[in-house]
Amino acid sequence: MALIKQVHGISPQFGSDCYLAENATIVGDVICGDQCSFWFNAVVRGDVNSIRMGDKVNVQDGAIIHCTYNKTIVSIGNNVSIGHNAIVHGCIIYDNVLIGMGAIIMDNATIGSNSIVGAGAIVTEGMTVEPNSVYAGIPAKKIKTISPELSKGEIERIANNYVLYSSWFKE
């Protein structure tokens, strides 16, 4: 069973049909929507500030979500995939976003809807990733604009796949 801990009297809250891997850690002021999944070795720490997630958010293996004490929260929309070993810290991520494996999103960054942050990219503090775009590199830079239909289709496919994958572990 996942490690779920209360901090300052506040316990994480989960929507319906969520999956929590046995060694995922979710603590404190974390609220997520329906059909979210927290995979092996994922850590979501709402100990120093709040973390809010919409529906169909998947936090893949080894990913970390955290905030900055008294400064930044994390807000994540619907249909968001946080890739393996990514770090999401004190930022806002809108709907239909893919954060690539090993990417780092820093405090006060904003990730626009229907966008992709490439594997290994670093979105620096306060940076804005435009909607309908792909950003990659260190520091992350805009690589191209993509149609909302193309990005949404690919991003929703991945979010839906993770709902399917989680069903394999709930049997």
The per-residue pLDDT for range 102-125, each reduced to its tens digit, is: 999 999 999 999 999 999 999 999
Q: How many domains does the chain have?
A: 1
pLDDT tens figures, 36-94: 999 999 999 999 999 999 999 999 999 999 999 999 999 999 999 999 999 999 999 99
Which DSSP string do the residues of 21-38 spell out, in sequence order? Answer: -TT-EEEEEEE--TT-EE
- Distance (Å, whole) CA 111 – CA 65: 15
- How many distinct helices (H) and strands (E) make up the chain? 1, 19
Give the type of residue at 12: P
Q: Which domain holds residue 95?
A: 3-169
Global pTM reads 0.96
Confidence category of residue 1, pLDDT binned at 50, 70, 90: confident
- Distance (Å, whole) CA 105 – CA 126: 10
| Closest to 137 in 3D by CA, of 116, 117, 121 | 121
Helix (H, G, I), strand (E, B) or coil at 4: strand
Confidence category of residue 132, pLDDT binned at 50, 70, 90: very high
Give the type of residue at 125: E
The domain that holds 99 is classified in CATH as 2.160.10.10
- Distance (Å, whole) CA 52 – CA 42: 16
Longest dimension (CA), the chain: 45
